[in-house]
């Protein structure tokens, strides 16, 4: 049996020790909340704290972006905090990947911060609650406290891969979306490092079997949400100049029962299941990995 495209899971490396209450991260979300305009004046009568107004765009099945969540100054504050903690190269000698894994040569820093996860989820909840699971109507219920900072220097990239789901510590929640927060972007007027120049390249490229590849360009403060597992084959394209910074975590949903998970798997094989993001979204369909493998098998059989 052919193997699926490589996963980005790093289960071999243990989570870092708890690092709760990181002041820089907490302060960034609080400041962003204060500066975010309210959705409407009527909201003030219904909420103690007006919900922020977010621009959510659905780019395709299981792929959404939320624009201008953080300002350039706020993103740089997070980058500075990560640099102060120290980044670790994932592949300092640019060695080829092990079988079943994707090539990558970025730098990373793992941070475990439950307080920041709760604050960020509360801040983004007006936008996140537009995402509904088709199978049972469930909405997102939290963010993973396991954050990963990624730094991509010039010529760094991450090959095609599929993100694995993550269970919460108590086993009651399971992730279905990856959340990427771009901390630098091609739209930066003043580059993070003037000596290196502005960011060029480094788009996150999504491959969907029914559509042409779709690129999400890094833009400072942009949040990108995409499906995990077999629904979303993607890659981080090569950085051509400057430095790309990302903050990544996972979006939790209530964990499905064993019976519901079996039904979900069957529905996705028949093109009926999945998770939709807002109105008009199409859930499920045959997975990218399944389709790519099926097409490869078909071509091989035709050669014979």
pLDDT score at 173: 94
Q: Among 26-40, 211-225, 275-289, name the one with the lowest average pLDDT.
A: 275-289
Q: Could you tell me the domains of the chain?
A: 55-303 (2.60.120.620)
Between 24-33, 41-50, 126-135, 243-252, the lowest mean confidence (pLDDT) is in 41-50
pLDDT tens sequence across 166-223: 999 999 999 999 999 999 999 887 787 888 889 999 999 998 766 788 999 999 999 9
**Which has the minimum average pLDDT: 177-191, 222-236, 290-304?**
290-304
Taking the mean position of all CA atoms in its chain, how far away is CA 121? 14
Q: What percent of the chain has pLDDT over 70?
A: 65
Position 130 scores a pLDDT of 77
Average pLDDT in the chain: 75
């Amino acid at each position: 049996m052919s193997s699926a495209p490589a996963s980005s899971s790093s289960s071999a490396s243990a989570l870092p020790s708890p690092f709760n209450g990181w002041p820089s991260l907490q302060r960034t979300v609080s400041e962003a909340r204060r500066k975010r305009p309210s959705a409407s004046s009527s909201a003030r009568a219904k909420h103690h704290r007006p919900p922020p107004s977010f621009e959510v765009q659905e780019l395709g099945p299981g792929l959404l972006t939320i624009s201008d969540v953080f300002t350039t100054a706020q993103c740089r504050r997070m980058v500075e905090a990560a640099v102060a903690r120290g980044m670790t190269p994932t592949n300092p000698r640019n060695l080829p990947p092990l079988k079943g894994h994707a090539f990558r040569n970025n730098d990373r820093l793992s941070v475990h911060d439950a307080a920041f996860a709760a604050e960020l989820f509360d801040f983004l909840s007006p936008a996140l609650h537009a995402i509904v699971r088709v199978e049972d109507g469930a909405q997102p219920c939290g963010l993973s406290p396991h954050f990963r900072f990624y730094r991509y220097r010039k010529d760094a990239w991450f090959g095609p891969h599929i993100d694995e789901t993550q269970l919460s510590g108590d086993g009651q929640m399971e992730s279905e979306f990856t959340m990427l927060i771009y901390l630098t972007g091609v739209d930066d007027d003043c580059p993070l490092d003037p000596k290196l120049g502005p960011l060029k390249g480094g788009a996150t490229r999504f491959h969907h079997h029914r559509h042409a590849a779709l690129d999400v360009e890094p833009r400072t403060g942009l949040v990108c949400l995409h499906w995990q597992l077999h629904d979303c084959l993607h890659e981080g394209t090569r950085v051509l100049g400057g430095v790309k910074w990302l903050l990544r975590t996972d979006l939790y949903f209530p964990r499905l029962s064993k019976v519901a998970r079996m039904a979900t798997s069957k529905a996705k094989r028949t093109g009926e299941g999945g998770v939709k993001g807002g109105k008009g979204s199409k859930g499920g369909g045959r997975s990218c990995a399944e389709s790519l493998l099926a097409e490869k098998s078909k071509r091989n059989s035709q050669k014979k």
